[in-house]
Amino acid sequence: MSSSHETEYRCPYCGKPFSITVYDSVSVKTDPDMRERCISGDIFRHSCPHCHTDFMIQANLLYLDSDRKFVIYLSSEPANETLNALGRPLREKGYTLRRTETLAEFTEKIQIFEDGISDITVELAKYDSFIEFIDNRNGRAEEVTSVEYQNCNDGVIKINVRTDDKGLSFLIPSAMLDEEIRAEADRFDISDEVFPVINGDWLIDLFREDGNPAA
């Protein structure tokens, strides 16, 4: 089940103290309503009872989906040994474990794993879409504000490359990317971490380490 605790917090706007509820973990099997609160970000949203200002507090959160067998740890800091010890037996049971550093990555990971697709495949699709935008769509890297996963239907991944004034969508067959990952299994291996961070920076670092050009 989900767990939370009460803590004292001082409003960043009026400076007055008040008590807030901070969730430490969420189990969507036992508390299915919490999923939407995580996706929308409401679980991190608070309101000062004194000045009535709304604001976000991104606290560390462990998100567990036991039906789909994945766990996401939202934190800017690596998992400690206690959490890793908790995660190792889950990984042995076939769970996918990840750490995300931002709320955007956190919510995207939930959708990716609910869609039943590998996030490594998605990151490669996002990277290829970014390169396609730059090389063949006359885009400039500095124009790009985000590269986002939208969905995967019938084995085709949809990626949105967004800029300030427009956006382009790219459709990429996941089987093609999965074959590339299998062919270079050593490069994409993440077995040395319990809660690895798999995002765009991770993928670019892989290419840099192997001496390949990265955007």
Is residue 18 within 8 Å of 48, Cβ to Cβ? yes
Q: Which residues are CB-contacts of 199 (< 8 A; sequence separation ≥ 6)?
A: 100, 101, 105, 123
pLDDT at 115 over 70: yes
Per-residue pLDDT, 215: 46
β-strands 70-74, 167-173 pairing? unpaired
Per-residue pLDDT, 172: 96
Amino acid at 183: A
Per-residue pLDDT, 209: 63
Report the sign of the C-alpha dihedral through residues 87, 88, 90, 96, in that order: positive
120 φ/ψ angles, rounded to the nearest 5 degrees:
-65, -40
Distance between CA atoms of 184 and 129, rounded to whole angstroms? 20
- Kindly report, residue by residue over 124-165, the tens digit of the pLDDT: 999 999 999 999 887 888 999 999 999 999 999 999 999 988
β-strands 54-56, 61-65 pairing? unpaired
The pLDDT-based confidence of 105 (bands split at 50, 70, 90) is very high
In the 8-state DSSP scheme, what is residue 25?
Answer: E
* Domain boundaries along the sequence of the chain: 3-101, 119-209
Query: What is the average pLDDT across 195-213?
Result: 82
Tell me the CA distances in angstroms from 138 to 101, 131, 133, 145, 167, one per residue in order: 31, 10, 7, 16, 13
Least confident piece of the model among 1-5, 59-63, 94-98, 193-197: 1-5
pTM of the model as a whole: 0.90
**Summary mean pLDDT of the chain:** 93
Burial of 191 (0-12, 13-18, 19+ CB in 10 A): exposed
pLDDT at 167 over 90: no
- Kindly report, residue by residue over 30-66, the tens digit of the pLDDT: 999 999 999 999 999 999 999 999 999 999 999 999 9
- Kindly report, residue by residue over 68-81, the tens digit of the pLDDT: 999 999 999 999 99
